[in-house]
Chains A and B, each alone.
Chain A
């Protein structure tokens, strides 16, 4: 009981300090527990907030919150894509392939929902994807798009690592990126066996070719109706 009271007091204190409405803050769900993840004081700073500008562009925000929203945006895109893939599989997928693509869908949903919960009130809104260029009934197109998303995701997380300040977030990004790389390799092997790590994505030093946010957002934008801006993301 005592602990509950003191936790409640801490929440009140943080809320008062930050000027965030109590209702908004508690909408995080488990209150303090999640506030611990995004850092109590820094999470309540106004200047890293993502915002929607008058023309409808979603600004990802700045600092670590901006990077987490950047990851959240990419995970939203991937989860939405695989949800459509699995809803109605193109012909030609084997039972094994269907099962593993369903696994991938679940992993991306887990990533998306994780970021949403962790960011709480700091999260950007749900994005509207634009998959009009993809024929979901065509196995080849589905796999080609999956490859684009997975390779892009790996390159994005690798490139964002150096932009993250908090060690805990860096580790979380690391926990996710290797799973994206596992996906990327599998999808590539479905398209062309043995292409799991070819010269399209790996350089002569055996290193993945990572990408910084501007290049990633440019590539992602063709699959989004929502406009997103990374103008306030950290650059070093």
Chain B
């Protein structure tokens, strides 16, 4: 039910969302019927999309959506740093330093977004409980060893960062009416991309030949996660676009370069479906 909880929480902060979608009871009723679909993110995502299309999301809803993702990232790195103090799994001081830098940025984003939401007259969404194993609170999901297995930790970090980049990108148009908020969101978006690049670089430095097939580069090639787990694929689906605004980019560069040169957005519903398993 966690996905329903996010829906309800965002709606509680903005009751009008359901009025705009015209039939609150119907949505709740459908939601009850479809609760079992949490195991099928795309089905739930499409339900969410109908109830909560991005064209109707307000600035406060978008900021609360962003805050949810920043809570997730902040707590993920915090748990890594805390766990590492008790049982070291981050191998070097420089790696730990990078994780601390990224953690500080995510913590600053949380504070900034809370202030921005309050400043806009909204109520910041309360902090969810997270299950970083990706099992909705059962703590036995595919990423259960992320805080002891360094490779897995970096893989999850990469996925969170790349997803964050796509999430902010998908909301830019919805913030267009407010220049200050739009600029702030763009200024967070590029920081997430810098994080993603660095995490990817850290991962490539762990292998003997960073140019070998399947090794992550700082940018996203095709729709490849470069992670040996199908559980993260939804974060990369749709990244392999080679035509931008009717212009075929493959007319200028290779297919790989054409996909790398442009990062693609995700909708709010797609992102919430992706992070669903991490939220209790």
A144 to chain B, nearest CB (A): 18
CB atoms of A110 and B169 under 8 A apart = no
Whether A182 contacts B257 in the complex (CB less than 8 A), given A114-B252, A170-B173, A207-B184, comes out as no
Knowing A170-B176, A179-B263, the reply to whether A206 touches B189 (Cβ < 8 A) is no
Partner-binding segment picked from A4-12, A159-167, A222-230: A159-167
A236 in the interface, Cβ–Cβ < 8 Å?
yes
Within 201-234 of A, Cβ neighbours of B (below 8 Å) are at 202, 204-210
Q: A103-B217, A161-B182, A181-B197 are in contact. Are A174 and B260 (CB under 8 A)?
A: no
Most buried by A among B169, B197, B251: B197
Q: Which of A12-41 contact B (CB under 8 A)?
A: 30, 33-34, 36-37
A103 close to B105 (CB less than 8 A): no
Contact status of A236 and B179, CB under 8 A, knowing A179-B260, A185-B193: yes
Closest-CB distance, B212 to chain A (whole angstroms): 10
Is A168 in contact with B253, judged by CB distance below 8 angstroms? no
User: Contacts A158-B187, A208-B190 hold; do A172 and B245 have CB atoms under 8 A apart?
Assistant: yes
Q: Is the pair B252, A113 in contact by a Cβ cutoff of 8 Å?
A: yes
Tell me how far the C-beta of A22 lies from the nearest C-beta in chain B, rounded to whole angstroms. 20
B83 close to chain A: CB less than 8 A = no
CB distance from A20 to the nearest CB of B (A): 19
Q: Would B247 and A178 count as touching, CB distance under 8 A? A: no
Q: Are A168 and B245 in contact (CB under 8 A)?
A: yes
How far, in angstroms, from A154 to B192 measured CA to CA in the complex? 12
Q: Distance in Å from the Cβ of B75 to the closest Cβ of chain A?
A: 15
Chain A contact-residue range equals 35 or more
Q: How far is the CA of A159 from the CA of B182 in the complex (A)?
A: 10
Instruction: Give the total of B residues in contact with A, Cβ under 8 Å.
Output: 61
**Chain A positions 166-205 with a Cβ under 8 Å from a chain B Cβ:** 167-168, 170-172, 174-186, 189, 193-194, 196-198, 202, 204-205
Complex CA gap A116/B88 in Å reads 51
Whether the Cβ atoms of A210 and B187 lie closer than 8 Å is yes
Q: Is the CB of B186 within 8 A of A204?
A: no
CB distance from B266 to the nearest CB of A (A): 12
Task: Give the contacts of B171-222 with A (CB-CB under 8 A).
Answer: 172-173, 176, 179, 182-184, 186-198, 200-201, 204, 210-211, 217-219
A106 close to B105 (CB less than 8 A): no
Cα A172 to Cα B247 in complex, Å, equals 12
Q: A106-B253, A174-B265 are in contact. List 20 more A-B contacts (CB 8 A).
A: A34-B247, A37-B246, A107-B257, A110-B258, A110-B262, A117-B247, A171-B172, A171-B265, A172-B245, A174-B172, A175-B262, A175-B265, A177-B193, A178-B189, A194-B94, A196-B194, A197-B102, A197-B198, A206-B191, A207-B188
Binding site for B on A (CB under 8 A): 30, 33-34, 36-37, 95-96, 99-100, 103, 106-107, 109-111, 113-114, 117-118, 154, 157-159, 161-162, 167-168, 170-172, 174-186, 189, 193-194, 196-198, 202, 204-210, 236
Ordered by A's residue number, 11 sampled pairs between the chains whose C-beta atoms are within 8 Å are A103-B260, A107-B257, A110-B252, A110-B253, A114-B245, A158-B183, A161-B182, A174-B265, A182-B194, A202-B194, A205-B108
Which residues does B use to contact A, with CB under 8 Å? 94, 97-98, 101-102, 104-109, 111-112, 165, 168-169, 172-173, 176, 179, 182-184, 186-198, 200-201, 204, 210-211, 217-219, 244-247, 249, 251-254, 257-258, 260-265
